[in-house]
A and B are shown apart, each in its own frame.
Chain A
Amino acid sequence: MKFIDPHIHMSSRTTDDYVNMRESGIVAVIEPAFWLGQPRTNVGSFIDYFSSLIGWERFRASQFGIKHYCTMGLNSKEANNESLAEAVMEILPRYLAKEGVVAVGEIGYDEQSKLEDKYYRAQLELAKKFDMLVMVHTPHRDKKSGTIRSMEVAIEHGLNPNKVIIDHNNEETIQEVLDRGFWPAFTIYPKTKMGNERMVEVVRKFGSDRIIVDSSADWGFSDPLAVPKTANLMLSKGISKEAVEKTCYRNAILAYGQSGQISENDWLETNSSDPKNLFEGNSVLRGQVEPQTNSSVIV
């Protein structure tokens, strides 16, 4: 079975993760631009980070047979530094136009402050202007009202709910998201929040239409194999293979495929790990690992 992890911060992960992900059947990832833990102090740090998402990290992923896409945006935490946020907004449009950028994101609310609201709205306007999808990060605190607010503001700015993915849902928010016509995504965390046992029950209760599973794996406790592990658990708990395929693969393509920047053909028609890109002595593989191909199936 093939999987997509449509929300994972690979810049924070190791090469072993890439190897394990590929061996577990992950063929593509979407890496949203996000907060790096250490607050950035100048726009140059954003420029280098954004450039790495469309440059080095994409290349690194390709060496392990994984297609890498990304979203670009000013995250909610750093939206609270106004002078920095202004500078980021100035450079953002040029990154939104890059190849393989599937959405504006992850944007939204953290503390639901005035500045977060200002830059969330400004980025929704950018998405509208450039006819792009939006990946919304919903707040961890005051989750339900923050999620509803995120959707209402998106609608207020004229966004089509079908072009907005609402991430980090739980049992309390999903119905509202589905009812409004947005795409609900679920982040599977190993220790807190949404665990994969709960995810199985969500799919059992709400079905598989429009629901997307991701890991949001980053520099904290998180699991880059959350998507295949959840799929495995769903299968063992009697969820149909079709439902597993939809939530762990197909729905992500349907949602993000609207951007025109990601298509199943990207990994079906080509070997995403092109051996011609491997460097003896210089690559991240350093000649130690055979080139990966898109042929293995684990689950």
Chain B
Amino acid sequence: MQHIYSAILEKLSPSQKEWFLIATEEITKAKDDTQFLFHFSSCSRKLKNSLPPFSCGLEIPFFNLIEITRIYLVLLYCNTSHKPFDEIFPKLKISADIQETVTLCKGLCFFPISENLKSYAEEGVRSNMKEIFESVAHNNKFPFLNFDENSWNQMVLKALFIDSPIFLIYGFKNRKNTELSRMVVDYALERIAASRTINPELWSCIIYTDHPRIMAYWLELLNHGSELEKNAICLIWSDPLYKKEKRIPDKFLKQIKLNTWEEIGRELDKKRKGAG
């Protein structure tokens, strides 16, 4: 906690620091939750125009000043009020606005793990607000460490549904599984049947498939797809799991320019943002 405190102080302007020190003192001395909840929400008013995301020595450096300050205030109040986190957290979550919800989701790994917290993360994944979904799904260790296989798979599948990058899902490679692979193949078949395009990152979720309609589709993409589509098909189809007659025709292998799914994901994301 001390290193977060120091990192926050370093980034604050003199007037912001004045507010922060008063807020932390009031929270430390608070007799009930009111002051804490008020200061938690006030962060966006007091720390406006804050800096872009910074690391503050954490493994995943994707917090902006308002977010990390809010997380610090939660940890501080838990410490000083001696109330169990499970008592404080419901009050925070029921009245959280979008940015506060994003913060709580991004900060999941800072809080003591409980069933409530797991449900909260799963609820975040169910959100129709993409920002909230991505605050759980992307660059966040919590799902990797705590989601069961079904929740994990639903998260990945939803990322595909809403065109959210797969490569930003923490630990994705390590939690690929056959059930996810089956679900994604079914999803790809639905898209093919509806003559809809398929996000090239989708293929990174499949461990192995030799479904004839999928393989025919791959062949079609290798001949007529975009560069990224061709590259993605080469990447999956050149996997050593595909033997002999099931293997990608050699003539297509030269189409591999990007050698990892992460590179493909990044390229797609660039295009996605460029389109926005």
Contact = CB atoms under 8 A, between A and B. Distances in A.
B97 A55 contact: yes
Contact of B130 (A47, A97, A260, A276): A276
Nearest to A277: B130
Which of A58, A91, A98 is the most central at the interface, judged by chain B CB atoms within 10 Å of its CB?
Answer: A98
B37 interface: yes
Range for the number of chain A residues in contact with chain B: 20 to 34
Contacts of B37: 93-94
Contact of A97 (B38, B48, B273): B38
A79 B34 CA distance: 21
A51 interface: yes
Contacts, number: 76
Interface in B1-56: 34, 37-42, 44-45, 48
A95 B44 CA distance: 13
A275 interface: yes
Contacts of B44: 98-99
Nearest to B129: A59
Nearest to A50: B95
B68 to A, nearest CB: 16
B99 interface: yes
Interface string B232-276: 000000000000000000000000000000000000000011011
A123 to B, nearest CB: 16
A281 B98 contact: no
A261 interface: yes
Interface string A61-97: 0000000000000000000000000000001011101
Given A98-B97, A99-B41, A99-B45, 6 more contacts: A51-B95, A95-B41, A260-B45, A275-B276, A276-B272, A282-B128
Interface of B: 34, 37-42, 44-45, 48, 94-101, 128-131, 161-163, 272-273, 275-276
